[in-house]
Amino acid sequence: RRFDFRPKTDPYCQARYTFCPTGSAIPLMKEEDVIEVYRLQAPVWEFKYGDLLGHLKIMHDAVGFRSSLTGKNYTMEWYELFQLGNCTFPHLRPGMDAPFWCNQGAACFYEGIDDAHWKANGTLVLVTTISGTMFNEMAQWVKYDNETGIYYETWTVQASPDKKSTVWFDSYECSKFILRTYQKLADLGAVFKKIQTNYTSIILFSGEPIYLGNETSIFGPQGNKTLAAAIRDFYNPFKPHQSVREFFVDLFRIIDRVILNHQFYLFYNLEYWFLPMKSPYLKIIYEEVPLPGGSKASSGI
């Protein structure tokens, strides 16, 4: 779903790591320039934990560019303004009935490619070359995409692990931005190399979702107080934890709700849905999604 504008961020929403700290405007390239396009992938939080999350195939994706005329390198990626946890679960603030969401995602563009970051535990590989004209047209598309696709969605929700199963909700995160970028470049005439490209998806498995309403209809003056209390109660165990004991107590509560009682409340495009969860409940998939023009396969963990 596309939105008309990006809302201002609330001062309550704070990121542990600054979003796009060295970001810059996308430069205007000369039409005759030949620009190399690189696929970049590394484990999430590789800068802090090295290859730890790479063993679980939880990967972050980006795209790199190199101008033949200037020799300058650039990196473009899309990620959460307030870190993953804030985009996935809300805050339950005193005095506020509705859960409070710190959830936005956006593109970040900056000069340079950190070769060590992407090569050490991940991928840095040439996938195509484009002209300066194509790059500039892509830059205009990025501006539109960034202004209208504003919310980060962690979960893909499917009916079953079967490859042809119904997808109830699709995620909207870093890899989806990269896939959209590749497709835009292909639409502009880029020809991609035939190499295997895999991406991480975190999938919830559910029966047909039940629409519950939006913030006003559930938590407003005329809202459903019983449903509002159930949603707040569901999200409570996902709050940040101050002690190991608190974490394990709430982990058991999460297991009880999601697995034993088959319940999950999803907030998607500003609306709440009930998911009747079913086995295997959650799975991390490292799925092959080909560059424009290939075939598809997947492997799960």
Does residue 262 carry a catalytic annotation?
A: no
Does residue 60 carry a catalytic annotation?
A: yes
87, 102, 108, 174: the active-site residue:
174
HEC sequence for the chain: CCCCCCCCCCCCCCCCCCCCCCCCCCCCCCCCCEEEEEEEEEECCHHHHCCCHHHHCCEEEEEEEEECCCCCEEEEEEEECCHHHHHHCCECCCCCCCCECCCCEEEEEEECCCHHHHHHHCEEEEEEEEEHHHHHHHHHHHHHHHHHCCCCECEEEECCCCCCCCEEECCECHHHHHHHHHHHHHHCCCCCCCCCCEEEEEEEEECCCEEEEEHHHHHCCCCCHHHHHHHHHHHHHHCCCCCHHHHHHHHHHHHHHHHHCCEEEEEECCEEEEEEEEEEEEEEEEEECCCCCCCCEEEEC
60, 87, 102, 108: the active-site residue:
60
Residues designated as active site: 60, 174
